[in-house]
Chain A
């Protein structure tokens, strides 16, 4: 049986990579990854290995943490927009990406980046990714195709 320490060590990069793509911010992803593992430790007794792999379960926890972050961030932005337009600091999403891809990824929505992260970067199958997203595998595949098409178009525009 997998221990929490083993699961954390094995899947830290997956969770972090998923959050980087999902949030579009490496520093935020770092914070959220730490928070994800803290929450996962609290909820580890609920994890059932027969119902899914530790990676899937950790991605589900990470997604919940990220959604909470998005909600609080949206409320914060609304408050700040009342006073002034907040400045955005954009760091490169990942090392090794071409500038065209980097800028094209900025065009995608968080939802589109998320499905690319799960299916392409983490190489989850459609059923597992759909489970993380809480949607059907067909819907997941459709989302992925649309996201990749949009990304290609954005790359073409950027090029």
Chain B
């Protein structure tokens, strides 16, 4: 029998469903279709939720590891004023506010020391203000004891020590303070009058002794004593004169410096900042999910392929019987 004949014979003998079956199927079809099973069941939700929760926990554990702390700019610590008498401390934002320093005594000898730390805006201002400071000192009858100016491209620094007549130190400090923004100020007043008085008394006593010795018979011993007393009196007088000279002038230590380098300007969060942050975290989550999920997915695919192959083999075996 040829294949077309065989095909024709097979098609001609096509089975027809018996009436009982037809009736049964009609009854089945007449039934109301049952409601479809819910797509989201507890089992399916768990199948999705458990791996997602595991991935989220893993990501959380990995992401909450201690990280290197971001470098924070150090706060701008104001210079601390040192000294026995601090007129004021901290930054005086308004340069128009002249510092108030104690008035030097007109009757007593004092070692008067004032220091001013000023902030100037530019490097050029450092050298210009240094010259002005020296000029101010000269105009008030003072002089510069030491001047040290150092300037670079981005920053500048000047350390100037001025000697100002004590009676005009307040004016000097007021005018010097106007050169920049006051960062710190320090005034140290030390009384020297008591020491001068004591020295004067000692000198007077020694001079009395000296006069007494001169009135005595001038033996070699007496003459040696006279020489010693004279030398001591001269030394004390020099010291007294030095102290008086020192007390006549006040020392003003002036520091001029440019502002410290500004830390990197922090961007203020814009309106889309939250969205960007959310996308960043979503991206991080996706990377972790991919890192964790990709091997699991590959394993699942392999398992699925193996199951399919096994099922196919079983099916073939099942259908290989007559």
Chain B nearest CB, measured from A62 CB (Å): 12
Selected contact of B15 from candidates A26, A107, A114, CB within 8 Å: A26
A116 & B17 in contact (Cβ 8 Å cutoff) = no
A111 & B17 in contact (Cβ 8 Å cutoff) = no
B15 & A34 in contact (Cβ 8 Å cutoff) = no
**Given A30-B21, A41-B29, A44-B33, A120:B315 Cβ within 8 A:** no
Encoded as 1 (CB less than 8 Å from any B CB) or 0, chain A from 144 to 155 comes to: 000010011001
B15 & A94 in contact (Cβ 8 Å cutoff) = yes
Which residues of chain B from 33 to 67 have any CB-CB distance to chain A below 8 Å in the complex? 33-34, 36
Collect the chain A residues with CB atoms within 8 Å of residue B11's CB. Answer: 120-121, 123
User: How far apart sit A152 and B316, CA to CA, in the bound complex (Å)?
Assistant: 22
Q: Is A79 at the interface (CB under 8 A from chain B)?
A: no
User: How far apart sit A106 and B321, CA to CA, in the bound complex (Å)?
Assistant: 10
A155 & B15 in contact (Cβ 8 Å cutoff) = no
Q: Is B71 at the interface (CB under 8 A from chain A)?
A: no
Collect the chain B residues with CB atoms within 8 Å of residue A74's CB. Answer: 318
Collect the chain B residues with CB atoms within 8 Å of residue A30's CB. Answer: 17-18, 20-21
Q: Is A96 at the interface (CB under 8 A from chain B)?
A: yes
User: How far apart sit A114 and B321, CA to CA, in the bound complex (Å)?
Assistant: 12
Q: Which listed segment binds A: B1-9, B190-198, B275-283?
A: B1-9
Q: Is B307 at the interface (CB under 8 A from chain A)?
A: no
B319 & A114 in contact (Cβ 8 Å cutoff) = yes
Closest to A94 in B: B13
User: How far apart sit A95 and B36, CA to CA, in the bound complex (Å)?
Assistant: 39
**Given A71-B318, A121-B10, A152-B1, A8:B28 Cβ within 8 A:** yes
A45 & B36 in contact (Cβ 8 Å cutoff) = yes
Collect the chain B residues with CB atoms within 8 Å of residue A126's CB. Answer: none
User: How far apart sit A77 and B282, CA to CA, in the bound complex (Å)?
Assistant: 57
Q: Is B322 at the interface (CB under 8 A from chain A)?
A: yes
**Given A16-B21, A26-B15, A120-B7, A70:B33 Cβ within 8 A:** no
Selected contact of B322 from candidates A13, A16, A95, A109, CB within 8 Å: A109
Q: Is B31 at the interface (CB under 8 A from chain A)?
A: yes
Encoded as 1 (CB less than 8 Å from any A CB) or 0, chain B from 207 to 234 comes to: 0000000000000000000000000000
Q: Is B24 at the interface (CB under 8 A from chain A)?
A: yes
User: How far apart sit A134 and B314, CA to CA, in the bound complex (Å)?
Assistant: 14
Selected contact of A101 from candidates B6, B28, B33, CB within 8 Å: B6
B10 & A116 in contact (Cβ 8 Å cutoff) = yes
Chain B nearest CB, measured from A15 CB (Å): 8
Collect the chain A residues with CB atoms within 8 Å of residue B33's CB. Answer: 4, 41-42, 44-45
Give the size category of B's interface with A: 35 or more
A152 & B3 in contact (Cβ 8 Å cutoff) = yes
Collect the chain A residues with CB atoms within 8 Å of residue B6's CB. Answer: 101, 148, 151-152, 155
Collect the chain A residues with CB atoms within 8 Å of residue B15's CB. Answer: 13, 16-17, 20-21, 26, 29, 93-95
Chain B nearest CB, measured from A102 CB (Å): 9
Encoded as 1 (CB less than 8 Å from any A CB) or 0, chain B from 128 to 154 comes to: 000000000000000000000000000
Collect the chain B residues with CB atoms within 8 Å of residue A42's CB. Answer: 33-34
Encoded as 1 (CB less than 8 Å from any B CB) or 0, chain A from 1 to 31 comes to: 0001100110011011100110010100110
B9 & A8 in contact (Cβ 8 Å cutoff) = no
Collect the chain B residues with CB atoms within 8 Å of residue A4's CB. Answer: 29, 33
Closest to A31 in B: B21
Selected contact of B10 from candidates A34, A44, A100, A120, CB within 8 Å: A120
User: How far apart sit A95 and B17, CA to CA, in the bound complex (Å)?
Assistant: 12
**Given A33-B25, A38-B28, A97:B318 Cβ within 8 A:** no
B319 & A12 in contact (Cβ 8 Å cutoff) = no
Chain B nearest CB, measured from A112 CB (Å): 8
B21 & A33 in contact (Cβ 8 Å cutoff) = yes
Selected contact of A111 from candidates B12, B26, B36, B319, CB within 8 Å: B319
Q: Is B30 at the interface (CB under 8 A from chain A)?
A: yes
Q: List 8 A-B contacts (CB under 8 A).
A: A5-B26, A13-B14, A30-B21, A34-B21, A37-B29, A101-B9, A111-B320, A159-B1
Query: What are the 6 A-B residue pairs with the smallest beta carbon separation, nearest first?
Result: A111-B319, A16-B17, A5-B29, A45-B36, A96-B13, A94-B13
